[in-house]
Structure 1
Amino acid sequence: MENRSLPQQAALVVNVHSRRGEALFEEAKQKLEAAGVRLVKAHAVSDPARLPGTVRQVVEEGAPMVIVGGGDGSLSGTVDELVGKECVFGVLPLGTANSFARTLGIPLDLDGAIDVIATGRRRRIDLGMIDRDYFVNAASLGLSPMIGQTVPAKLKRYLGRVGYLVWAVKCSVSFRAFRLTIDDGAQQRRMWSTEVRILNGPYHGGVELSERADVDSGELVIQAVVGRSHARLAWDWYSKFFKLRDRDAHTEEFRGKSFRIETHPRQRISIDGEVVAATPATAKVAPGAIDVAVPR
């Protein structure tokens, strides 16, 4: 499966509500066709709630590859429709952080991403799951869901990752640490925490957070920022962003196939940037769930 070539026919589904989706939809169509990818369907979707249904439709119609353009939330919200199918998942990174594209080594510019879709290869990868909801890259609880749920759209659109940082400072004023319990079926760990990342790949928020997480390892990495200090959480993000030598000083990591996660008080869970779940929850890996287009 790893060395199989990509289909030369595809359906294109773009979230034009994403940061760059509206501006690049027509250009993406033209460049895909010019690169030798014949588009059997092309949908510009303005309502993100319609994305899963649109992807489901083109998969059912027999598209051998579905190219989804948008941010990590768009990819996570549509990937469920490809689980267990022979259809290949193509990625056009048009969002703010584009963590999944970074994980797969896909260039973040339009021309580079299209070149991968036209000349790359298939790679079988794992997905993560929060209860029954699949995700491509990362889920989180703590401060990140508060930021993702409340960040103004214009701030995110025009400032990108810097906008998230500005809003994080504002949200941290009212945020409080929580008691965390992680149970892998063999052992329970209890600690204070300000943020928990559930990683299928190394990136979250466009930042490489763990060198141990990989999309074909057959395991998830749970990374907890320990303690009750806001300053410690801020330093953790800063040190990981700039890849400082002591960047793992304030986190604990747990690796495995399935975890039960409980918190007090209850915490919302962000799945690839979209707040759609809450604790208590089960996080587990879905090994070899989909084929994706990656660089050759």
Structure 2
Amino acid sequence: METKTLPRQAILVVNAHSRRGQDNFNQAREKLEAADVELIAAHAVDDPEQMAATVRQAVESGAPMVIVGGGDGSMSGTVDELVGKDCVFGVLPLGTANSFARTLGLPLDLDGAVRAIATGQRRRVDLGMIDRDYFVNAASLGLSPMIGQTVPHKLKRYLGRIGYLIWAVKCSVGFRAFRLTIDDGVKERRLWSTEVRILNGPYHGGVELSDHAAVDTGEIVIQAVVGRSKPRLAWDWYAKFFKLRDRNAHTEEFHGRQFKLACHPPQKISIDGEVLAKTPVTVKIAPGAVDVAVPQD
């Protein structure tokens, strides 16, 4: 695993529409400057749809590091702009689940995250891909996209993961299992499933779901909750949340560089919390795609 020293200059881009973004923008700017990180510019972005364009401009301006503050959706929606560029991706976890930050071993508090950027190192990591769209951590299809697409913003903003749980119970009433086809180019598998997770890292929704997914393996992990039972899906989340010994009893994992996924009926796909695609899709790994800022240890 290759690591290098972090640059001392950066541009800060914060999603001020995220759960804690508005409150933390000024603090993040002050703490970064106090930690001797020279901010070339700092942007509080009120419209999440402008995040990618703001990061793109920052990268094109020649900034050696762009620090993005927000949730997993903000990270996934902006990381495309750094692929193939000599620019470090700094992560300030200001969202609800902060799965990518957990995967990188970053502190989830603002002081700790700033310290990692100011005193840490750069690390080359993989990204996942859904067709041509890069993502940092995880994508899912099944019940999760239904929750992500319909959950009221205020419920997510003020209750965090508990708000997701409450809404999940409501959404599960009308949800039905689907037929999943997984093709790795050598063998095709068909099975019933209630949820499929496409993992570049072990976390999804802030919960550690896989013992094998990581950002430096050169492989993508497809994890399917098998069968047609909704109570089994609920138990799977419960068992993984509390790390029970039989937490993998109802899931099957597939590891590889590329897969074709199809479902009957077709399923929407949530990419790091944002519903952006629909089956059928090609899923693959982009090895060593970006440099990220991580703690020294």
Q: Per-residue displacement from partner, 1:89-138 (whole Å, max 9, x unpaired)?
A: 00000000000000000000000000000000000000000000000000
Deviation at 1:4, TM superposition (A): 1.0
Q: Does 1:24 align with 2:21?
A: no
Which amino acid is the alignment partner of residue 133 of structure 1?
D
The within-5 A match list for 1:247-266 is 247-266=247-266
The within-5 A match list for 1:199-278 is 199-278=199-278
The equivalent residue for 1:156 is 156
TM superposition outliers: structure 1 runs of 4+ over 6 Å: none
Cα distance between partner residues in 1 of 2:2 and 2:284: 23
Deviation at 1:38, TM superposition (A): 0.3
Deviation at 1:2, TM superposition (A): 2.4
The equivalent residue for 1:57 is 57
Cα distance between partner residues in 1 of 2:85 and 2:14: 20
- SS of residue paired to 2:103: helix
Q: Per-residue displacement from partner, 1:35-91 (whole Å, max 9, x unpaired)?
A: 010000100000000000000001000000000000000000000000000100000
Cα distance between partner residues in 1 of 2:30 and 2:295: 21
Q: Does 1:7 align with 2:10?
A: no
The equivalent residue for 1:146 is 146
The equivalent residue for 1:130 is 130
Question: Runs of 5+ in structure 1 lacking a partner?
Answer: none
Which amino acid is the alignment partner of residue 242 of structure 2?
F
The equivalent residue for 1:39 is 39
Q: Is the CA contact (8 Å cut-off) linking 1:68 and 1:75 kept in structure 2?
A: yes
Which amino acid is the alignment partner of residue 150 of structure 1?
T
The equivalent residue for 2:286 is 286
The equivalent residue for 2:121 is 121
Which amino acid is the alignment partner of residue 68 of structure 2?
V
Q: Per-residue displacement from partner, 1:3-62 (whole Å, max 9, x unpaired)?
A: 311000000000000000000000100000000100001000000000000000010000
TM-score by length of 2: 0.99
Sequence identity of aligned pairs in percent? Answer: 78
Cα distance between partner residues in 1 of 2:100 and 2:4: 21
The equivalent residue for 1:172 is 172
- SS of residue paired to 1:108: coil
Q: Is the CA contact (8 Å cut-off) linking 1:2 and 1:121 kept in structure 2?
A: no
Q: Is the CA contact (8 Å cut-off) linking 2:15 and 2:48 kept in structure 1?
A: yes
TM-score by length of 1: 0.99
Q: Is the CA contact (8 Å cut-off) linking 1:141 and 1:269 kept in structure 2?
A: yes
Question: Runs of 5+ in structure 2 lacking a partner?
Answer: none
